[in-house]
């Protein structure tokens, strides 16, 4: 994956001062190919250069502007922790944290995230043995079976816990008791966890254990 010559010609690589495209400002570059725009005719391919910081590593890459963030991660950078379950923002398997907030990486283009800080489930673990508390809780409470929705569930849970801590209410947050009001942290009971985690489908049916796992972390 790492290319050490100066050209880089479209090959994704960790950001390097030796690379000309890395030194140039990412925005405003002319696309590599521009199709003549005529009525009823649209460009099939326009390339764009960008920098992504994923799990603490900086990557420099040129993408077809039609590339979703999910495909850029999986197919261009071989970062396959975010999964493709539906490609339509309906299942949550592709959830990553972008600048700390949970986002569906299949529903956003890579070019819209130049210079963004992206964390995947793989990056939540700080080492071979050090899991994030949410990951450890999923492991302890068997909050998964096939594991395909799991990285998305875990990123979603981490983002959700931060939202609750920051006082974001959900549709089931009761009014008038202070929970999630005026920036006060929302109290996460099981109904709150279920509601806030309902953007992440699990066909194996691990919801009961997912709620148990998140509850264990939320109560710490």
Partner 1 sequence: MTRPDTDSALSSESIEPLNIQTVGTSLPRVDGHAKVTGTATYAWEHDLRNPTYVYPLQSAIARGRVLRMDATQAESVDGVIAVLTPYNAARLADTGNAELAVLQSDEIAFRGQLIGAVVAETPETARHAASLVGVEYEQQPHDTELRADRPDLYRPDQVNPVFPTDSEEGDVEAALAAAAVTLDQTYSTPMEHNNPMEPHTCVSVWDNAGTGADGGPRLTQYDSTQGAHAVRKNIARLFELAPERVRVISPHVGGGFGSKGMPHAHNVLSALAARAVAGRPAKLALTRQQLFDLAGHRTPTVQRVRLGADADGRLTALCHEAVEHTSKVKEFAEQTAVASRLMYAAPNRRTTHRLALLDVPVNTWMRAPGECPGMFAAEVAMDELADACGLDPIELRAINEPESDPSTGKPWSHRRLVECLRTGARRFGWDRRAEAGTRREGDWLVGLGVASATYPSWAMPGSAAEIERTADGRYAVRIGAADLGTGTWTALSQIASDALECPFDAVHLEIGDTDLPPASVAGGSSGINSWGSTIVAAARAFRAEHGDNPAAGARTSSKTPENPDMKRYAVHSFGAQFAEVRVNADTGEVRVPRMLGVFAAGRIINPRTARSQFIGGMTMGISMALFEESVLDHGTGHVVNHDFAQYHVAANADVGDIEATWLDEPDPHANPMGAKGIGEIGIVGAPAAVVNAVHNATGIRVRDLPVTPDKLLRA
Chain residues binding partner 1 by CB under 8 A are 33, 44-45, 64, 66-67, 71, 74-75, 78, 80-88, 90-91, 93, 120-122, 124-125, 131, 135-136, 138-140, 142, 144-151, 154, 191, 193-195, 197-211
| Shortest Å distance, C-beta 6 to partner 1 | 22
| Shortest Å distance, C-beta 31 to partner 1 | 13
**Residue 28 backbone class (left: φ over 0; alpha: ψ -120 to 50; beta: rest):** left
| Shortest Å distance, C-beta 212 to partner 1 | 10
Question: What is the rounded CA–CA span in Å between residue 124 and residue 46?
Answer: 33
Q: Which two tokens stand for residue 138?
A: 């999923």
For residue 100, the tally of other CB atoms under 10 A from its CB is 10
| Shortest Å distance, C-beta 158 to partner 1 | 12
| Shortest Å distance, C-beta 176 to partner 1 | 18
Query: Please, which residue, 125 or 184, has the CB nearer to partner 1?
Result: 125
Query: Please, which residue, 67 or 183, has the CB nearer to partner 1?
Result: 67
Q: What are the distances in angstroms from CA 28 to CA 50, 114, 166?
A: 11, 12, 36
Query: Please, which residue, 131 or 218, has the CB nearer to partner 1?
Result: 131
Query: Please, which residue, 91 or 118, has the CB nearer to partner 1?
Result: 91
If we measure between CA atoms, which residue out of 28, 82, 23 comes closest to residue 54? 82
**Residue 134 backbone class (left: φ over 0; alpha: ψ -120 to 50; beta: rest):** alpha
Query: Please, which residue, 150 or 179, has the CB nearer to partner 1?
Result: 150
Contact 99, 114 (CB under 8 A): no
């Amino acid at each position: 994956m790492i290319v050490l010559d100066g050209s880089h010609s479209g090959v994704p690589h960790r950001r390097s001062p030796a690379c000309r495209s890395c030194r140039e400002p990412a925005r405003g570059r002319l696309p590599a190919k521009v199709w003549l725009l005529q009525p009823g005719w649209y460009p099939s391919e326009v390339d764009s250069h960008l920098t992504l910081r994923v799990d603490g590593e900086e990557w420099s890459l040129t993408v077809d502007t039609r590339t979703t963030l999910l495909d850029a991660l999986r197919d261009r950078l071989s970062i396959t922790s975010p999964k493709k379950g539906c490609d339509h923002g309906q299942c949550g398997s592709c959830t990553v944290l972008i600048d700390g907030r949970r986002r569906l990486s299949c529903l956003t283009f890579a070019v819209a995230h130049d210079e963004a800080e992206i964390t995947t489930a793989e990056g939540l673990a700080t080492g071979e043995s050090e899991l994030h508390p949410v990951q450890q809780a999923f492991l302890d409470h068997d909050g998964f079976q096939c594991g395909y929705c799991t990285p998305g569930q875990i990123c979603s849970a981490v983002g959700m816990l931060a939202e609750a801590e920051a006082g974001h209410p959900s549709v089931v947050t009761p009014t008038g008791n202070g929970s999630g009001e005026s920036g006060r942290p929302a109290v996460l009971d099981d109904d709150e966890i279920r509601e806030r985690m309902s953007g992440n489908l699990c066909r194996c049916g691990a919801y009961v254990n997912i709620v148990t796992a998140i509850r264990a972390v939320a109560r710490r």
